[in-house]
A and B are shown apart, each in its own frame.
Chain A
Amino acid sequence: MSEPLLSKTQGGDPWKARIDRVFARALVLPLFLALALLSWLLLDTLYRSFSVQVVRSDVGLSQTFPLGTAWQEALKAALLQEGYTEEEAEAMLKDPKELRALLNQNRVELMWNTHEGPLRYVVTGSYDERVLDLPLLQGLRRWEELKAGLGEGERLVLNPWLDQTFLTRFPSRNPLIAGIGVAVVGTVWVLTLALLIAIPVGVGTAILLEEYLREGRLNRILEVNLRNLAGVPSIVYGLLGLAFFVREMGLGPTVLAAALTLALLGIPVITVTAREALRAVPESQRQAAFALGATRRQVVFRVVLPAALPGVVTGVILSAARLIGEAAPLLLVGAAAYVPFYPSGPLSEYTVIPVQIYLWVSQPQPEFARVAAAGILVMLLVLSGLYLAALYLRNRFRREW
């Protein structure tokens, strides 16, 4: 339907006109409700990702340093205090392996606010303990009081849980130093492999259905099958992956098993969007190419597919965004494992961002909710990037035929 006919009706029963106005407003209400919920979710997640903490370090490194010192210096000073000699500390910082180990156990980062003043480097040890974890506003209100009451070895900090090192740190049982690094790398691995499989299959199926078999029995079978596959809950794909890829094919809980599972999930989605893009290319284009003596293959791959490409790419990006957020099927094919290292290939163990978030949410310690909030912010940022890219492509290459 084009423009609604609303404006054409005038006069008549004033009560009915009133009902009409109320009706029109009531219909938009759900949209505002949904938007309100969405803003509540975002603001709440953002707020939860900050807290004011009193942290005690019994063992390990615990230092804060003013701005201007390189963080390596901060780490070195902390090592010296720890009892290492000057040379040992230097050597540890120079050896990349040692350094990585140090950075995994000790978090060195810029903190916005500490009891010793704003913007300092803080070194946090893996054995640090939380004494107090307060919501942002409450913590700021009690800042002076808390500062006065600090005990031996205790620090007062404003902790932005989502900071630059959160992205590279490893998972940990200590919420203070848990990071999302492994999950980010795992997501990149799994998603890339899954798309490598799902794009050719999905786009190929779309071409088959739209350009080769527009009717006939094979078309009917494939259509019905696709429609049913699109309705299968994603967790059932997880069961398929568990039975078939993990156990039957003996892949175990690896990146490859996850990628195959995710690819199967993505194929119907990619097929549907690619078909829409192909359908949008007008028949006249095909007829013109045929009239010039092109074969079907030439028509499809030199005329129709290039013309539909922006639409196909947009569809693929949106499908990728959908796949990134999928946690349920991957929980069944091994993503729930505790993986303290980066995946190094298709056959290594892995975890992905949404599963990592699920694991954090199901931890009993309340600070893991803050870690989860930081993880969610990372995931939402990635997703909004993808949506913006899709939006840009859609507008940039939109063609009116």
Chain B
Amino acid sequence: MELLRQAPSRNPKEVLTFALLVLLGAVTLLTTLGVVLSLLGDVVEFFRRVPLTEFLFAPEWTPLFAEPRYGIAPLIAGTLLVTAIALTVAIPLGLALAIYISELAPHRVRARVMGILELFEGIPTVVLGYFALLTVTPFLQKFIPGLQIFNPLSAGLVMGFAIIPYVSNVAADAMQSVPRAIREAAYALGARPYEVALRVVFPAAISGIIAAIILATSRAIGETMIVAIAAGQRPTLTLDPRETIATMTSFIVQAATGDQPAGSTASLALFAVGATLFLMTLGLNILAQYVVERYRERYE
């Protein structure tokens, strides 16, 4: 904008306002710094006591036992298991909704659908965890023998519904930015609406759709209350969705609500797990941004 390029004012009031705003803006930068620093100190101390190879390759996670083992593999396996179940629900349902919002819904219906999704996004996750544990699990136990009270299956299913809005909003945005001319060209060639949606718009928006899925994955990995309540707090290296497991987030909750003294290795483990979680989600978010920028179809 030309207007924004005018010479900086020397009026003290103007300068002061600008300085104040920069100061406020700096708080967000300090937050990032704070996250990194707060994790770093305790993580360094943790790895001074526990070798990195133990952390990465030991098959058990039992920091509260008399002979503690610090292998993060069971926690990561649990996290990935729940995430996979959630994505199995969220990807098809979320993408279907995205196509509906972007391609088929009439104007007024679209606003209403978005409103419902917003409402869905607004349900506190502690409520969803309660629902998964006390309603969905007993319901599933009627059909699935051997399903534990705490299990990743119902936690994952409920979480899948919770992350539908993340998939559908981002994906619908991507589809809506595909220019109308391309759709019209397809219709002019005699394509049906489903063909236009699936074979023209969908491929054209694929970078945004992949980004939506990556972002939803990152959400699912960081989701805490649903798994802490419904998936259990017993780290198990298993892929059986009926077994009680623990995820990285549920371990953090468990350790934080327990009473280990500050500075003990068990309490440092909290930060090591938190740092792993932070790096995984940050990596996924950066990957999503990269995918969007690298593979975007550009239209004139």
List B contacts of A380 (CB < 8 A).
123, 127
State whether A357 and B285 are in contact (beta carbons under 8 Å apart), knowing that A208-B21, A209-B25, A235-B277 are contacts in the complex: no
Question: A233–B224 contact, CB under 8 A?
Answer: yes
List B contacts of A3 (CB < 8 A).
106-107
Query: Which residue on chain B has the smallest CB distance to residue A222?
Result: B25
Question: A34–B34 contact, CB under 8 A?
Answer: no
Please tell me the size bucket of the interface on A. Answer: 35 or more
Query: Which residue on chain B has the smallest CB distance to residue A373?
Result: B130
List A contacts of B187 (CB < 8 A).
5, 8-9
State whether A233 and B194 are in contact (beta carbons under 8 Å apart), knowing that A4-B104, A225-B28, A295-B9 are contacts in the complex: no
Query: Which residue on chain A has the smallest CB distance to residue B223?
Result: A233
Question: B17–A328 contact, CB under 8 A?
Answer: no
A148 on the B face (CB < 8 A): no
CB of B219 to closest CB in A, whole Å = 8
List A contacts of B124 (CB < 8 A).
324-327, 354, 379, 383
A107 on the B face (CB < 8 A): no
Question: A27–B192 contact, CB under 8 A?
Answer: no
CB of A47 to closest CB in B, whole Å = 10
B256 on the A face (CB < 8 A): yes
Please tell me the size bucket of the interface on B. Answer: 35 or more
Question: B193–A9 contact, CB under 8 A?
Answer: yes
Query: Which residue on chain B has the smallest CB distance to residue A334?
Result: B256
A31 on the B face (CB < 8 A): yes
CB of B87 to closest CB in A, whole Å = 14
Question: A264–B116 contact, CB under 8 A?
Answer: no
The segment out of B36-44, B66-74, B236-244 that lies at the interface is B36-44
The segment out of B52-60, B94-102, B140-148 that lies at the interface is B94-102
Contact partner, A33, options B9, B20, B21, B93, Cβ 8 Å: B93
Question: B4–A214 contact, CB under 8 A?
Answer: yes
Query: Which residue on chain B has the smallest CB distance to residue A207?
Result: B21
Question: A41–B192 contact, CB under 8 A?
Answer: no
Question: A23–B253 contact, CB under 8 A?
Answer: no
A78 on the B face (CB < 8 A): no
Question: A325–B123 contact, CB under 8 A?
Answer: yes
B126 on the A face (CB < 8 A): yes
List A contacts of B224 (CB < 8 A).
233-235, 327-328
A173 on the B face (CB < 8 A): no
- Residue of A2, A228, A327, A387 with most chain B CB atoms under a 10 A cut-off: A327
Contact partner, A243, options B22, B41, B117, B289, Cβ 8 Å: B41
CA distance A24 to B122 in the complex (A): 27
CB of A315 to closest CB in B, whole Å = 12
List A contacts of B104 (CB < 8 A).
4, 6, 24, 27
A-B contact pairs, 16 of them (CB 8 A): A12-B192, A16-B192, A20-B192, A38-B120, A45-B130, A208-B21, A228-B32, A232-B281, A235-B274, A236-B277, A239-B38, A297-B17, A328-B224, A331-B253, A358-B126, A358-B229
Leading 3 A-B pairs by shortest Cβ distance? A233-B222, A325-B124, A204-B24
Spell out A's residues near B (CB within 8 Å): 1-6, 8-9, 12-13, 16-17, 19-20, 23-24, 26-31, 33-35, 37-38, 40-41, 44-45, 48, 200-201, 204-205, 207-209, 212, 214, 218, 221-222, 225-229, 231-240, 242-244, 247-248, 264, 267-268, 271, 283, 286-287, 290, 295-297, 300-301, 318, 321-322, 324-328, 331-332, 336, 354-355, 357-358, 361-362, 369, 372-373, 376, 379-380, 383, 387
